Amino acid sequence: MASTGRRGGAPVREDEPRRDERAEQQAPAPQGPVLPPPPPVDYGVFMQGLVQAMQMQAHTQVALQAQLEAQFDHRTLDEALSAACRQEGEMEQYLEEKKASQKRPAATFQR
């Protein structure tokens, strides 16, 4: 089967390797010293370390969550106290104004 994958429309022959196959065959030889293979991995030790790291992360997350909740509750308490003080001040001002208005003589309506 012929295809027109080349420039100029020349067909590619089946017995001729394609461009990507030739690139794989012509990969440059590695330069420098050849390194030994990596040591075998003890997956039991690896998994123990992974589990330990995940437990540490969970513990840290719980501690941070508790700290965040404590800060939030503290801020909420401060806001509630501030609102109560503000309401108390408004109530005192209202009572003073009410007392002052009762001391003034009532305006008599005349026809």
Cα R_g (the chain), whole angstroms: 43
CA–CA gap between residue 91 and residue 85 (Å, rounded): 10
CA–CA gap between residue 54 and residue 43 (Å, rounded): 16
Q: What are phi and psi of 66, to 5 degrees?
A: -65, -40
**What is the domain partition of the chain in residue ranges?**
74-101
Is residue 58 very low, low, confident or very high in pLDDT (cuts 50, 70, 90)?
Answer: very high
Q: What are the tens digits of pLDDT across the range 72-107?
A: 777 788 888 899 999 999 999 999 998 888 887 666
pLDDT at position 25, please? Answer: 65
